[in-house]
Structure 1
Amino acid sequence: MTMTKYRLALALSTAGAAMLAAPAHAQETAPQDSAETNGSAFGGAEIIVTAQKRAQNLQDVPVAISVVSGDQLERANVNSAEQLFQRVPTLTFRKGNTNKDSALSIRGVGTISFSSGVEPSVSTVIDGVVYARTGQQTSDFLDVERIEVLRGPQGSLFGKNASAGVINIVSREPGDTLGGYVDAAWYEGNEMRLRASVGGPLGEGLKASLTGFWSQYDGNARNVFNGRKVNGYEHWGVRGKLIAEPVDAVKVTLIADYSKNSDNGYADSIGTVFSSPFNNAVFIPSLAPLTLDGKNKDIDNDLDPYTKDKNSGVSAQIDVDLGAATLTSITAYRHWYNYQQRDGDFRSDAPKYVNTGTASGDVLSHDRGDLKFDQFTQELRIASSNPQFLEYVAGLYFYKTKEVDYFNRTVTSCTASTLPTVGGLTPCAPGSSTYVTNQGDADFTTRLTSYSAFGQLTANFTDAFRGIVGLRYTEDKVSYDFVRDSSSLTAFPGVNPDFAAEGSIKENGWSGNAGLQYDLSDDVMAYGMYTRGYKGPALNVFFNMQARDTGRIDPEKSNAYELGLKTRLFDRRVTLNIAAFYAKYDNYQANFLDLVAGQVVTRLTNAGTVSTRGIEVDFNAALTDDFSLGGGFNYTDAHINQFICPPGAAVTCADAINGKPLPFAPKYKGTVTMDWRLPLNIEGFHVDLNSSLVYQSRTQFDINQNPNAFQKGYAIWDAGLTVSTADDKYSLSLIVKNLTDKHFVIQRIPNGTSFMRQITPRDAERYAGVTARMNF
């Protein structure tokens, strides 16, 4: 059977029954150590979260939260943050050429920047430890119990780099009996995954687990210059967790992890190229045989795209039960190393002509760089344990980071040639032409130190009526030193002349929240919340930094309002949660496209005022003990209220930007899910069908509103079939991703008015796979 026929047969065999959908939007079982569950295994279970620094039922928390279980992620082949956006409607992921340039947005708000002096607006927290950079958590998910996505500013309990929301990832704890699992997966495109875990008691009051993974993928595109696959990867990692309870009142959790990623992408493939003398005479002919359209994934680069990441860390959490309260200390250190290289001219034959006239701009441009990032965090907090009139969480937080960057850009042009001119162009060739190479090297270090004190108080006025108030005070200091050495006294494409600077800024700010919560019945809760968000000051420390970039980027502050209704219906077999929100951000920190000697670069700036508003719906329904539906839908209007053009900008920014959508903010997005245990009555076996449908409306990628930098609306349909033994010891799953073979991109980047670059993800084509698992 040919591969095409195989894919079609598998798709048809699965599609017949999977007419609804099922990725993962809400957790179906509570974490092992948090609470008992009620309801069927296919939905209707109580969902326990730690979104407010304590274990609570999701339906009792006055915050809009999406929860995805680890089991759901595994069933849907969702393995990293860059795929998670397909499962949480209000979450979007901006994939850069390297992991360090990736970013997350919630409700249309996020920080996209190449600067080392700014933090993300969406905070990622793994096992209580804040990851200070989005690029730190782009590795494969490992032994996930659940992921909680807190939507909107989280000013009191999570702090300054949670001005748009929080992704709270909780890993599984070792069990009380010895056990584990081994699973292996293969998918079309030569994608393979291996995972294994073992854990259990080591002695009285001591248990541990060890989990490892390895994955590799050849890639979904090809470099026509050398025939190599691109957009692939090889990842591996290990995580160990040790839990000691020397006495009943004390719990110590030690975690250590290490992972290494080698990615040959994501590559900047060329999509649309616009007519111009240079493009028609030089650029388009150079890119042959690429098909230059919105579906092109291939590249023609003499320097292969490549990124390498190493992530490691250790943390120690100590919980002391004081009776009426729990005292918690979390101490953590993390290290991240990133290396990246890319072909900045996007061609394999540059420079092809003498760099003059129509061929002006015909240059070779190669980028290489690395960074070393270290962070230390310490959190100390106390939380009341028992239901009482005044329930509280209070704490202190210390946060220190250091990033050391090196970046090199090499640009070669042809300045003269003895070859005859043809059609107004003088070709260049070694031995007959004069080549001039210039380069810029930058070394820069950025440091951030932050102190904060926080607290949140809940007053239970009656059994049904509560008031919530929270406050956080933060002090920040950001400092840097920067040196760029250039071989030219004047700017050349993508490189400014020599520059050196150093400096620091300090700032303090308040954030917090206040709201009311009322139980209309045992199964219906309404709440209203005001939140003041704060994201600390920043500096525009990047490769092309110059004197105008040494000024401060003011803190980003927001005022957010949310009304919500959380319900459990039909004997708690159905949960239906609705939230309406509005948030306005002042001094919004954003990237702005600029030019250096004709080459597009980006600058960080206080872009002005933006706002986001909308309605979100989450639901789960256990229609029978063997059939469940779940999902969510959101309408989001995230737009620019008033854009402030940065001083000296080489790119025009007009008032026409005002009122336009923020990048990476689709107006409509939704998921529908299905899990069905088929009534086949096969003795000793279960057969489960799961399927998912994800829809996203038109998405603009450029804050400058380039009319070609968008992805039109699309829907992705996945399906899977699992056969397992009744004791759940062995299972075999067949999965088909993107059944309708729908192409889409997750990034389009305008290169001035010349052409569009684009990034095409793994899931932008149909592929099938099989997973085998053994639990012991």
Structure 2
Amino acid sequence: MISSNAKAYLAVTSALGLALAAAPAHAQAQAVPAEADAPFASNDIIVTAQKREQNLQDVPVAISVVSGDMLERANVNSAEQLFQRVPTLTFRKGNTNKDSALSIRGVGTISFSSGVEPSVSTVIDGVVYARTGQQTSDFLDVERIEVLRGPQGSLFGKNASAGVINIVTREPGDALGGYVDAAWYEGNEYRIRGSVGGALSNSVKASLTGFWSQYDGNGRNVFNGHKVNGYEHWGVRGKLIAEPTDALKITLIADYSKNSDNGYADSIGTVFPSAFNNAVFIPSLAPLVLNGKNKDIDNDLDPYTKDKNSGVSGQFDLDLGGATLTSITAYRHWYNFQQRDGDFRSDAPKYVNTGTASGDVRSHDRGDLKFDQFTQELRIASSNPQFFEYVAGLYYYHTKEVDFFNRTVTACTASTLPTVGGLTPCAQGSSTYTTNEGNADFTTKLTSYSAFGQGTLNFTDAFRGILGLRYTEDKVSYDFARRSTSPTAFPGVNPAFAASGSIKDHGWSGNAGLQYDVTDDVMAYGMYTRGYKGPALNVFFNMQARDTGRIDPEKSNAYEAGLKTRLFDRRLTLNLAAFYAKYNNYQANFLDIVAGQVVTRLTNAGSVSTRGVELDFNAAITDDFSLSGGFNYTDAHINRFICPTGAAVTCADAINGKPLPFAPKYKGTVTMDWRLPLNLDGFNVDLNSSLVYQSKTNFDINQNPNAFQSAYAIWDGGIRVSTADDKYSLSFIVKNITDKQFVIQRIPNGTSFMRQITPRDAERYFGVTGRVNF
């Protein structure tokens, strides 16, 4: 039930803006300060998508931009929620951060393997994050987020075959200042952030930002009464900028964050009838209500995940006159620990195990990883308008991941109790229990070298040609050893196995296109892009001899045509893009069976394609009222699926032509910002409202008919009261006003039941934030 405060707030929002309800802050939000006489929502957005500062409307690439201010107003704090603000972006949440994945235009790599890279590259202040799980912590001091849609192989490398999320944090100001804000949301969610920065001398300025956040969770473990799907996060980030001469700029950044999550829990949504389920599984789960709305669990092992992320980077920009030389050196470390209950019950084993796929066993998983990466980029970019403008450089990338994983399985193998209804119950003192476990240690290393360049030929003031090329050398190596207490497979664990090896490959990626300024405010472009994603290895806990083969590089051919316009005295930007891309040797996860339990296997799944149309807009209707948003139609589907050799699950032709997982066909967002004309002396009152719509979404490449989320729409609203000088502000927000429940992951577990993961924003809640700027 929503609180009385929230009801009062809803009445206010309805009265002021029901007819204007719009939606999650998406593309082309305000990303740079507006001039004093500019509209409430400025359309002048500067991006660094091409590794140089450019106006968004001049870049021949489809880009969505979300400002840090907009993220803060909407309580969007991580990549998990960002997909609500960018129509072509989807987020796949795993049981732990290490298993999460991002997709753009329906394309992304979803895998538990340590030997494969993501298809969507995340870049923060010029540093590539090699794993999606490294950037699932809270956003901190974000200036803007640029989402580049489609392959970006020339400038961003092999792990950008589907797109790039380019996050730019705020720079310290010249004057000493900062802010402190604190927030409370229903469900005992608290957030505190603070930052201080400014000039330390005439040539040095610095900032230090920190945050702490806590949330009890939106589910409960009925076994012990503990809350689940909550968290406690904290972190700090420091940035120092020195300009010892007019020609040299040095940027040093260091950060550390620690996440403790009491999740992510697999709650049971549906249990399908069977002899085992009817007699054992369903009764064991009582008092859980097994339906699509269930958020609770019954586990004798609480879900838990811990992450520690840290890193340092140094960027040197040297002005050479007609060009700028840039060097970015970075080191990052990531530690992840996870534990989960693999049998989803607190009373297993309750009966003698029959040895079938639905055997009655207790299964617990624990694991950790240590991930280190070092990157070095050296590039040169022309700095003055000229006939030939260019960016060129060299890039080195090395990662090392060390994993440990344990699965412990206990079964009742014999009992002296009488058999009733074909089942023999077990109890201490009258039964024999057998515990087996598998332990795996594996190390995976990836090394990459590349050279890249992109040039723009200004044939006339209005007509340009673009040509880019990147050459990449890749090496992936691994060592793997799994020990088992059983000489044969038992539920969820293969017998002992050891292997090692390495693979090498190389590839070309690039782009070519034309750009034409139809008028000063209308630009048209067409682009061809060749994408490349390096080779991979299927290194995971249950790997066996059939998994040691190479996963070939993924290659793509993409085409995009777009129109970027500024209309009505530049109060409206309206951008359109049409795209088509085909991926060969697509690297994807395939659900398979190991000793009766579902596992995932990485494979070259064959060929897939994505095509569609996208629209972004930003309209300053008046100086105090703006609308922004976007819409996309995406048809991402499997052209030809290659069933892995030896797979226990039938596939092949059955899924050809079917949609890719995590690829809704329709998605749209609209956001409204309105400075209310209340004429309050010394105060401003701003109303914001947002709406996001997403069509039916499939979650399983095998096309399980129960692994989908039906279409839904989410409506948010907020009011901000601030002093005229913006020193003090108080914001009230309601998330998911209509209390629409949805999930961002449903996983079929064999043929017996379905699991679901429910996000924070899948229920209505109310919050308030206070902020002081100084």
Residue among 406, 409, 419 paired with 1:408: 406
Report if the CA contact (8 A) 2:581-2:609 is conserved. Answer: yes
Deviation at 1:7, TM superposition (A): 2.8
Q: Corresponding residue for 1:26? A: 27
Report if the CA contact (8 A) 1:417-1:427 is conserved. Answer: yes
User: Quick one: which amino acid aligns to residue 13 of structure 2?
Assistant: T
Deviation at 1:425, TM superposition (A): 1.2
Q: Corresponding residue for 1:220? A: 218
Deviation at 1:79, TM superposition (A): 0.2
Q: Corresponding residue for 1:9? A: 8
Aligned-partner SS, 1:240: strand
| Aligned residue runs from structure 1 range 147-166, under 5 A | 147-166=145-164
Q: Corresponding residue for 1:478? A: 476
Deviation at 1:359, TM superposition (A): 9.5
| Aligned residue runs from structure 1 range 114-513, under 5 A | 114-356=112-354, 361-513=359-511
Deviation at 1:736, TM superposition (A): 0.1
| Aligned residue runs from structure 1 range 37-186, under 5 A | 40-186=38-184
Report if the CA contact (8 A) 1:182-1:775 is conserved. Answer: yes
User: Quick one: which amino acid aligns to residue 544 of structure 2?
Assistant: Q
Deviations 1:682-702 (A, max 9, x none): 000000000000000000000
Report if the CA contact (8 A) 1:333-1:377 is conserved. Answer: yes
Deviation at 1:6, TM superposition (A): 3.1
Which whole-Å CA distance do the structure 2 matches of 1:370 and 1:43 have between them? 46
Which whole-Å CA distance do the structure 1 matches of 2:37 and 2:513 have between them? 31
User: Quick one: which amino acid aligns to residue 312 of structure 2?
Assistant: V
Deviations 1:425-461 (A, max 9, x none): 1111111110000000000000000000000010000
User: Quick one: which amino acid aligns to residue 297 of structure 2?
Assistant: I
Alignment of 1:602 with 2:600, yes or no, is yes
Q: TM-score, normalised by structure 2?
A: 0.99
Aligned-partner SS, 1:286: helix
Deviation at 1:241, TM superposition (A): 0.1
Aligned-partner SS, 1:110: coil
Which whole-Å CA distance do the structure 2 matches of 1:140 and 1:575 have between them? 30
User: Quick one: which amino acid aligns to residue 332 of structure 1?
Assistant: A
Deviation at 1:358, TM superposition (A): 8.0
Q: Corresponding residue for 1:767? A: 765
Deviations 1:162-219 (A, max 9, x none): 0000000000000010000000000000000000000000012000000000000000
| Aligned residue runs from structure 1 range 506-585, under 5 A | 506-585=504-583
Distance verdict in 2 for CA 1:602–1:401, change over 3 Å: same
Which whole-Å CA distance do the structure 2 matches of 1:461 and 1:102 have between them? 45
Which whole-Å CA distance do the structure 2 matches of 1:739 and 1:553 have between them? 45
Aligned-partner SS, 2:638: strand
Which whole-Å CA distance do the structure 2 matches of 1:669 and 1:259 have between them? 33
Which whole-Å CA distance do the structure 2 matches of 1:728 and 1:276 have between them? 62
Report if the CA contact (8 A) 1:277-1:358 is conserved. Answer: no
Deviations 1:65-107 (A, max 9, x none): 0000000000000000000000000000000010000000000
| Aligned residue runs from structure 1 range 591-740, under 5 A | 591-740=589-738
Q: Corresponding residue for 1:741? A: 739
User: Quick one: which amino acid aligns to residue 17 of structure 1?
Assistant: L
Which whole-Å CA distance do the structure 1 matches of 2:357 and 2:89 have between them? 43
Which whole-Å CA distance do the structure 1 matches of 2:27 and 2:747 have between them? 33
Deviations 1:322-354 (A, max 9, x none): 110000000000000000000000000000001
Report if the CA contact (8 A) 2:32-2:44 is conserved. Answer: no
User: Quick one: which amino acid aligns to residue 766 of structure 1?
Assistant: R
Deviations 1:541-599 (A, max 9, x none): 00001000000000000000000000000000000000000000000000000111100
Report if the CA contact (8 A) 1:38-1:44 is conserved. Answer: no
Report if the CA contact (8 A) 1:384-1:393 is conserved. Answer: yes
Which whole-Å CA distance do the structure 2 matches of 1:15 and 1:409 have between them? 52
Deviation at 1:29, TM superposition (A): 3.8
Aligned-partner SS, 2:98: helix
User: Quick one: which amino acid aligns to residue 155 of structure 2?
Assistant: L
Report if the CA contact (8 A) 2:2-2:765 is conserved. Answer: no
Report if the CA contact (8 A) 1:282-1:359 is conserved. Answer: no
Q: Which runs of 4+ in 1 moved over 4 A?
A: 36-39, 357-360
Deviations 1:701-754 (A, max 9, x none): 000000000000000000000000000000000000000000000000000111
Unmatched segments (≥5 aa) in structure 1: none
Aligned-partner SS, 1:333: strand
Report if the CA contact (8 A) 1:101-1:114 is conserved. Answer: yes
Which whole-Å CA distance do the structure 2 matches of 1:508 and 1:484 have between them? 31
Deviation at 1:28, TM superposition (A): 4.3
Distance verdict in 2 for CA 1:581–1:84, change over 3 Å: same
Aligned-partner SS, 1:203: coil
Aligned-partner SS, 1:18: helix
Aligned-partner SS, 1:161: helix
Which whole-Å CA distance do the structure 1 matches of 2:67 and 2:83 have between them? 14
Report if the CA contact (8 A) 1:81-1:137 is conserved. Answer: yes
The CA RMSD over aligned residues, in Å, is 1.1
User: Quick one: which amino acid aligns to residue 146 of structure 1?
Assistant: R
User: Quick one: which amino acid aligns to residue 569 of structure 2?
Assistant: D
Deviation at 1:357, TM superposition (A): 7.5
Q: How many residues align?
A: 772
Which whole-Å CA distance do the structure 1 matches of 2:149 and 2:90 have between them? 12
Which whole-Å CA distance do the structure 1 matches of 2:121 and 2:211 have between them? 25
Deviations 1:339-378 (A, max 9, x none): 0000000000000001127895100000000000000000
Which whole-Å CA distance do the structure 1 matches of 2:315 and 2:344 have between them? 47
Aligned-partner SS, 1:662: coil
Report if the CA contact (8 A) 2:566-2:572 is conserved. Answer: yes
Which whole-Å CA distance do the structure 2 matches of 1:9 and 1:284 have between them? 42
Which whole-Å CA distance do the structure 1 matches of 2:356 and 2:139 have between them? 49
Distance verdict in 2 for CA 1:3–1:527, change over 3 Å: closer
Deviations 1:437-488 (A, max 9, x none): 0000000000000000000010000000000000000000000000000111
Which whole-Å CA distance do the structure 2 matches of 1:220 and 1:517 have between them? 49
Aligned-partner SS, 1:258: strand
Report if the CA contact (8 A) 2:28-2:616 is conserved. Answer: no
Report if the CA contact (8 A) 2:664-2:694 is conserved. Answer: yes
Deviation at 1:41, TM superposition (A): 4.6
User: Quick one: which amino acid aligns to residue 556 of structure 1?
Assistant: E
Which whole-Å CA distance do the structure 1 matches of 2:121 and 2:356 have between them? 47
Deviation at 1:27, TM superposition (A): 4.4
Deviation at 1:417, TM superposition (A): 1.1
Distance verdict in 2 for CA 1:704–1:30, change over 3 Å: closer
Which whole-Å CA distance do the structure 2 matches of 1:626 and 1:522 have between them? 26
Deviation at 1:37, TM superposition (A): 5.2
